[in-house]
Chains A and B, each alone.
Chain A
Amino acid sequence: MPADAAPAFATPGALGPGRLIGAGGMLGLWLLLLLFIVYPLAMLLVRAFYDGGHLALGPLLSTIESPNNLRALRNSLLLALLVGVAGTVIGLVFAFTAERANLGRRAGRLIDFATLLPLISPPFTTSIAFVFSFGPRGLITYDLFGIGNIQVYGLTSTFAAETITYFPIAYLALRPMLASISSSFEEASFSLGGSRWHAFRTVTLPLIIPALANAFLLLFGCSLADFATPLILAGSDFPVLPTEAYLQITGMFDLRSGAILSLLLLVPAGLVYYVQDRFVAGRSYVTVTGKAATASRRDAVSPMARIVLVLACILMTTVILYFYALLFYASIVMAFGANSTLTLQHYRVIFTEGLPAIEDTLFIALIGMPLGGLYGIVVGYLVGRTRFTGRKAMEVISMLNYALPGTIVGIAYLLAFNDKPLALTGTATILIACYVFRYSPTGIRTTIALLQQIDRSMEEASASLGANTVTTFRRVMLPLILPAFFAGLGVVFIRSMTAISATIFLVSINWTLITVKILENMTEVALGPAAAFSVFVIVVVLVVTGLLNLALKRLTAPSLRVSRIGT
């Protein structure tokens, strides 16, 4: 890093080895960001805009002017907006209920489990449950309610399926925030004569605004980039951009207009990011002050509100559990809807023919997990807490691969790493890099959001005692942002097990993935193995995230336990 950054980046008196490590680390980090984010995208842009050495804007203009593409863009924005709002609201209801409604241990566990399921599922699982459940012969619409003239394809289904798939992300982002808000603030409001609603509105809500904005941004981005759900559920009359871009590239062999189409998505993604950034900036959300805070014993919600909240959660939880029961059922019958004979045949298939994919996926996920977790908190800390030249650039760059539709990231990697000197296609490295740089932004955002709640005086205290930046980070900040580290670990592992949109272009003869096998099985009319693979992924992820939670509990001393990850 340039020397002019030193006064801010390194704390006073830090001219020793700590600073050198800091500078070296910084250089390495920039190199990685350039190599795995900037370079592939640059290659993609070159492919999109250059034609035989000349800048060619014709394709760009004709893509933008096409009314069909504009319709797809409108549909995408509408869908992302709806999913962002609905998912954030549902996530907030769940987080608030879990943290404030004094649920019993068991009920709390059940909610945690139900919200976890969509998050850790391979793509297509919710969509497939929708295809089974709704529509002219759907289990719910026809067999339960006798409605025969209804369509499962279109905006409503896509919106509902994406909301169910993604709201747990909002829940995960919001719950630690609610947990970290000392109830003594709410208590203070009560003791000043405020009602519970008044306390929620004037104390709790403003405090979690950064987290709400964060959750909305994450969901908006997820929906904007999701091609799997619309691919199954959007039908012929609701085209969205990621699916169009995906089909353009995979089908028409037209990298250029596919790339341009998906680049259109960058505009809204960037806009939302900008708004969120401005919206959150300039407010103080400090609630972890290092001073002892006593827990309130008074209930934060009235009995009536509690019933409504709990009922809402129960309803949603039931829907989710039903979907997954359906998935499990599909994995143990010969052929769903045709032959209900129970069988373990599908599991036998995945553990014989599917075994290489299982081994490869686990290997990649386990390598990517620690790398992604570390990368997340390091970038989050640098961006959220230090000042240096290029800080803003680092923040934006680190978000790019996440904000871009996976299809584009995948194609960009394919273009960038196919030839020497960086011929990485066909290796595990390219898959791991893709996951780490694409899915760590959750860890980054969580770190930043958590840091916004931690008073700067804690670091100043450390610095005034002679500690340098690295020591301060390690001894003071690290324990406080450990939950963010574990959230980062969890998300990278889960995504490595479940994501498909980018990596479908990067799997190879040598390394393949379970998710790709699932998609393949679905196109082969082999729903049984697809369901069995999905169940397997869910079980593995449950076990690993369970272990992560256990480790987090062990590692955080009770006095420092700011929050838990919601898993």
Chain B
Amino acid sequence: MTKAAKLQRRGVLLGAVASPFVIGSARAADSLKAYSIWPENYARPMLEAFEKATGIHVNFIRFSSGEALARLIAEKGNPQVDVLFGGPVETFTAGEDQGIFDAYTPPSAADLPGRFKSTKGMWTAIADDPLVFMTNTAFLKDHGLKPPTSWNDLLNPAYKDMLQMADARTSGTAVTRIFSILQVNNRNEDAAFGYMKKLRKNVQAYTKSGGGGTVPVGLGQAGGGIFFIVDALFTRQKGYNVEISFPKEGIGSAAECIGLVKGSKNTAAAKKLIDWATSPAMQSLLAPAKINFLPANPKVAADPNLAAILKSANIIAIDDKWAGENRKRIVDRWVAEVLNAG
């Protein structure tokens, strides 16, 4: 937005401030609006590249997945944005159930495997993001430990009160983690919850957002935790000494998606963004920008370094349909039996 336009907008709003009863709806429709669940430093370079390619400016604001979803639900009667950009698939399936999306299937969807698109066209994947174990290098050394390679390694009493991971109420990272644990226990819920209750004794804090524990682990205030690879590698890029490892039993991955918000006021532009984000045009920019998501589009090769790290990983599939249907029940059970067990 130009300075003059901004000043003009100020003028309009100043008037609105002076008399709150006068409702001005002088909203400019010159740009696309989006809620981004991707952090700003991942989303901004992508959306700026989109503007360069199409001339459409994307005005965006970042929220964590739970907050973005709560907002879209609250704003159903008066939608403020056109697109929900980035964020784990479980947020999009929950949103689909709440009816916050309009169906739109971009051309690239034809190239994607089933788990990367909604059957009704409500969302499409733009990237993939596996979970990892991230541990503090000095902590491991002090305790004579190796990076954990099994879920059971995390139950070691050496980790007592030293793990941080996300709270399932707010974080898509946490929900993906819990479904991973269910999956490696062959969906035997009692076994999975038995494990999580044991793991709880080693957890010092459940953080609001998926990446909330990365700095404490980097600093050594926590020994380790379970994070998305994009956050773990970003922590390492910052210069913190952390180890990244994978459980041999397997760990899940979340598709990062995009969706058209129901009632969007700039539908044509919104569809252009969805087309662009699901295509190689955007996803080939991830690796050069040092953003460690895996491209969802099979036409884009993963960054060699990222591929090397994932080589040893046993990434397992989580059935979105099953996860979506059981999400609320499982999270409620987690709150009741795990979170509040302390």
The residues of A with any CB-CB pair to B shorter than 8 Å are 35, 68, 71, 131-132, 135-138, 151-153, 231, 234-237, 239, 247-253, 255, 334-339, 353, 359, 363, 367, 411, 414-415, 418-429, 432-433, 504-505, 507-510, 512, 520, 522-527
Contacts and interface: CB of A to CB of B under 8 A. Distances in A.
Nearest to A418: B78
Interface in B1-57: 6, 9-10, 13-14, 16-17, 20, 23, 25, 27, 33, 39-41, 44
Given A236-B204, A338-B240, A429-B17, A525 B214 contact: yes
Given A151-B204, A251-B167, 9 more contacts: A136-B221, A235-B204, A252-B331, A253-B98, A336-B219, A425-B80, A508-B80, A524-B39, A525-B235
Contacts of B81: 509
A198 to B, nearest CB: 49
Contacts of B339: 236
A426 B80 contact: yes
Nearest to B142: A148
A527 B235 CA distance: 11
A424 B94 contact: no
Contacts of A235: 204-205
A353 B40 CA distance: 9
B197 interface: no
B170 A250 contact: yes
A316 to B, nearest CB: 24
A250 B66 contact: yes
Interface in B224-248: 231, 234-235, 238-241
Given A249-B70, A429-B20, A508-B80, A418 B340 contact: no
A157 to B, nearest CB: 11
A425 B40 contact: no
B67 A250 contact: yes
A422 B221 CA distance: 47
Interface string B198-209: 001001111011
B219 A137 contact: yes
Nearest to B28: A510
B20 A424 contact: yes
Contacts of A510: 9, 27
B325 interface: no
Given A429-B20, A524-B40, A136 B162 contact: yes
Nearest to A139: B219
Contacts of A415: 74
Given A247-B208, A423-B23, A425-B78, A520 B40 contact: yes
Q: Which of A35, A71, A334, A427 has the most CB of B within 10 A?
A: A427
A136 B224 CA distance: 13
A331 B9 CA distance: 32
B240 to A, nearest CB: 4
Given A236-B205, A335-B240, A509-B33, A251 B218 contact: no
B74 A418 contact: yes
B239 A335 contact: yes
Contact of B238 (A338, A426, A512): A338
Interface string B297-340: 00000000000000000000000000000000001000010011
Given A151-B161, A236-B203, A429-B17, A423 B78 contact: yes
Contacts of B62: 520
A509 B265 CA distance: 14
B60 interface: yes
A236 B206 contact: yes
26 contacts: A71-B340, A231-B208, A236-B206, A248-B169, A251-B70, A251-B167, A252-B169, A253-B70, A255-B74, A334-B239, A335-B240, A353-B40, A411-B74, A418-B75, A419-B78, A420-B23, A423-B23, A423-B78, A425-B78, A426-B27, A428-B16, A429-B17, A508-B80, A512-B61, A523-B64, A525-B214
A281 B247 CA distance: 65
